[in-house]
Structure 1
């Protein structure tokens, strides 16, 4: 028997889930749990909270599988659920976006830095973790999850221009954190 493409196999597993097959649910969980945990972790910055978000997101996905129309990949559909659940978890912590006026983003001047300086992935990850929740969420959604500012605005219930401002300020703050870390080394 010839193996199908990942999308074909994935579609078959989703159909089995819709039919109530618990093994198929476990297969989907195994396929997507690590990637979705990482998405949540980048947003919540909390291991235990990301585990909770992951469980809630999968439960929600399985309950609402009938609404999945295969217009996008299952992974994209699930990722949206995880992003929304992660953002809600951050909100529940009573952390608010850094207050900003609702105006167009200011251009942040490009910082001059040594082109030979190469930041290690771990240093960047730690610096992102040090950002305030609002900055980290917008930066993660934009850079790491690939959402545009209109989508971020929709998810976070803010205007597109506020998303742009948050992103701009997050970049600036991230550079400051990285420079401070670098100067301490």
Structure 2
């Protein structure tokens, strides 16, 4: 049973069901909604400490392990491959410069993901394309359905549909569903309100559902 916006009880880093099919690693059960973010990578013992001591080989290993998750996150938030590549480079440069600040009080992957999210959202703010804050209509959100049609399991169709959404809407959808951020956390990241996040989620999910149905029908008749 799905919880409505603002009622989700999963912890951050645990994706909601409708994006899971496109994120699942081979062999994982698509019904296990507790599978963590694609950033949740276990690193060999001592690897971060070696990087903090300046070992180039340790940085190279970290880069190789997180290159794809960082690029995918940046692509979903910015909607542009060129910008996603820039975000990847900037994120890794910041990692190189700031790894000494990391303290093992939280997972390394969560710390790195936060850098990637901030870099992506900073680029969106520079575009000046985020809409003004919109408060959610509680009647609109009540009973809101986050389930999508089977086409959501097709990564290509999902990517095409996401690319057609406004920047802010796409960002909220991905941060909430794929990365497990709460509405309050998304609001803090985007400088908006929790109501803004909820309204973008509700309207964006409806729009994404429609786009997936259209793209699925076109694809099936191609």
Summarize deviations over 1:27-59 as a string: whole Å, max 9, x none. 111111111111111111111111110111111
The match for 1:19 among 53, 74, 82 is 53
1:168/1:88 CA distance change after superposition, 3 Å: same
CA distance in 2, matches of 1:34, 1:94: 27
Asked if 1 retains the 8 angstrom alpha-carbon contact of 2:141 and 2:198, the reply is: no
* 2:176 matched residue in structure 1: 142
Take 1:100 and 1:7, find their aligned partners in 2: how far apart are those partners?
38
Change beyond 3 A, Cα 1:70–1:182? same
CA contact (8 A) 1:104 1:164 kept: no
Structure with greater proportional helix content = 1
Aligned length: 175
Match of 1:3 in 2: none
Report the equivalent of 2:134.
101
Query: What does residue 52 of structure 1 align with?
Result: 86
Q: 1:110 to 1:65 in 2, by over 3 A?
A: closer
Which has the greater radius of gyration? 1
Correspondence for 1:154 among 177, 180, 188: 188
Measured in 2, the distance between the counterparts of 1:8 and 1:172 equals 38
Alpha-carbon separation, structure 2, partners of 1:157 and 1:57: 21
**Unaligned residue ranges in structure 2 (runs of 5+):** 1-40
Equivalent pair of 1:127/1:178 in contact (CA under 8 Å): yes
Unpaired runs of 5+ residues, structure 1, are 1-5
